[in-house]
């Protein structure tokens, strides 16, 4: 298996109360394709910061992030987010005045990736695959439950037909049963659809279901 995402000597720090706080220190790691990763770590270890950097939402102080061998700054962070990756947030981050279907279509409308012509049907099918039937797909997202909203968020992450999906505490707001269901979806995505899933979590139950577990501690990643 080849590497889809490589991190080279990443450094990240910020000033807190007049002192520089080093979050990531010469961090290097390689993520292989079609795998379901979980990144574990104690609170404040920099998991979300790391996810922001690899998702192109923020930039490191130094070091390189390579996507399929290309530096993401060379691809362009905007383009990288639009065409190469998707993100699932803990807060779902759906747009409240759009329906579940329209939220999925939003990702399709922004990407430059090749998509089927009948986007609406594709979006309905995607949602249905994650348990959102068409009657619910046409509802505004704030009329859905938390679990349903997270499913919509996952459907949206798949809509733009990318191979790398990040998720930041995707089950943090969900009950145990729904958590299992969502993680099961991620596993399927990696194994059946060939996507690479990188989930940041502090939950052992989530990480126990992943293919590879990685620990972020003292600014470095270690394979468990």
Partner 1 sequence: MNFIKRAIKNVTRKPSKSVLLILTFFLIGNLVIIGLGVSNAAESAKILTRQKMRAVVTYKIDYDKINQYVMQLTDEDEINKFYENYPRVKLADVALLLQDERVKTANAVNTNMWYSDRENSLDFVHLNNQAEENMGQNGQSCWYDENNVEHCEIYKEPYFLIKGNMFPSMIEFEDGEYQIVSGRFYTQQEIDNADMVCLVSENLAALNGITIGDTINLANSNYSTWMEEFGATQEDLENSFEVIGIFSHNNPINPDAPNFNYMYPYQNPDNMIFMPSTAEYMAQLTLSQKEWDHYSQMYPEESYYSEDKRPSMENMEENLYIENVTLLLDDPMNVEPFVEEHQNSLSQFTSLDANNEEFNKLAKPLDTLSIYANFIVWLVLINAIVIITLVTALTLKTREYEIGVLLSVGASKLKVIGQFFIELAIVAVIGFTLSIVSGSLIAKSLGNKVLEYQIASSDINENGNGGLYYPYDGFDPWSTDYSTDITLDDLISEYEVKISPLIIAEIYVLGLGIVFISVIIPSFMIMRYNPKKILMNQN
Binding site for partner 1 (CB under 8 A): 52, 55, 57-59, 78-79, 81-83, 86-87, 89, 91, 93-98, 102, 105-107, 109-111, 140, 156, 160
For partner 1, the closer CB: 38 or 99:
99
For partner 1, the closer CB: 120 or 191:
120
Pairing of strands 220-223, 196-200: unpaired
- Radius of gyration over every alpha carbon of the chain, rounded to an integer in angstroms: 17
Q: How far is the CB of 77 from partner 1 (least distance, A)?
A: 9
Quote the tokens at residue 156. Answer: 């949206």
- Residues in the chain, overall count: 224
Q: How far is the CB of 208 from partner 1 (least distance, A)?
A: 27
Q: Which residues contact 188 (CB under 8 A, 6 or more apart)?
A: none
Q: How far is the CB of 44 from partner 1 (least distance, A)?
A: 14
For partner 1, the closer CB: 162 or 189:
162
Quote the tokens at residue 170. Answer: 């995707």
For partner 1, the closer CB: 48 or 210:
48
Report which secondary-structure segment, H or E, holds 61. none
Handedness of CA 142, 145, 148, 150 (dihedral sign): positive
Tell me the C-alpha distance between 198 and 165, whole Å: 6
Alpha helices in 4-118 (DSSP H): 47-54, 72-75, 77-83, 100-110
Q: How far is the CB of 113 from partner 1 (least distance, A)?
A: 10
For partner 1, the closer CB: 109 or 134:
109
Phi, psi of 191 (to 5 degrees): -85, -40
Q: How far is the CB of 16 from partner 1 (least distance, A)?
A: 14
């Amino acid at each position: 298996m080849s590497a889809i995402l490589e991190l080279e000597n990443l450094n990240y720090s910020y000033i807190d109360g007049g002192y520089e706080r080093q979050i990531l220190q010469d961090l290097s790691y390689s993520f292989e394709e079609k795998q379901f990763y979980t990144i574990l770590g104690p609170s404040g270890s920099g998991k979300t910061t790391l996810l922001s950097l690899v998702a192109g939402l923020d930039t490191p102080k130094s070091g390189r992030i390579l996507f399929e061998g290309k530096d993401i700054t060379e691809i362009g962070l905007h383009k990288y987010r639009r065409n190469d990756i998707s993100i699932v947030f803990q807060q779902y981050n759906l747009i409240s005045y759009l329906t579940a279907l329209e939220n999925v279509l939003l990702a399709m409308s922004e990407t430059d990736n090749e998509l089927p012509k009948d986007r609406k049907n594709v979006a309905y099918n995607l949602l249905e695959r994650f348990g959102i039937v068409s009657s619910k797909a046409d509802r505004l997202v704030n009329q859905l439950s938390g679990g349903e909203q997270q499913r919509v968020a996952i459907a949206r992450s798949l809509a733009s037909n990318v191979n790398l999906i990040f998720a930041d505490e995707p089950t943090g707001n969900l009950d145990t049963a729904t958590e299992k269901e969502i993680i099961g979806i991620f596993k399927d995505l990696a194994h059946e659809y060939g996507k690479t899933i990188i989930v940041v979590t502090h939950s052992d139950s989530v990480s126990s279901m992943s293919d590879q577990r990685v620990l972020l501690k003292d600014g470095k990643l270690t394979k468990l």
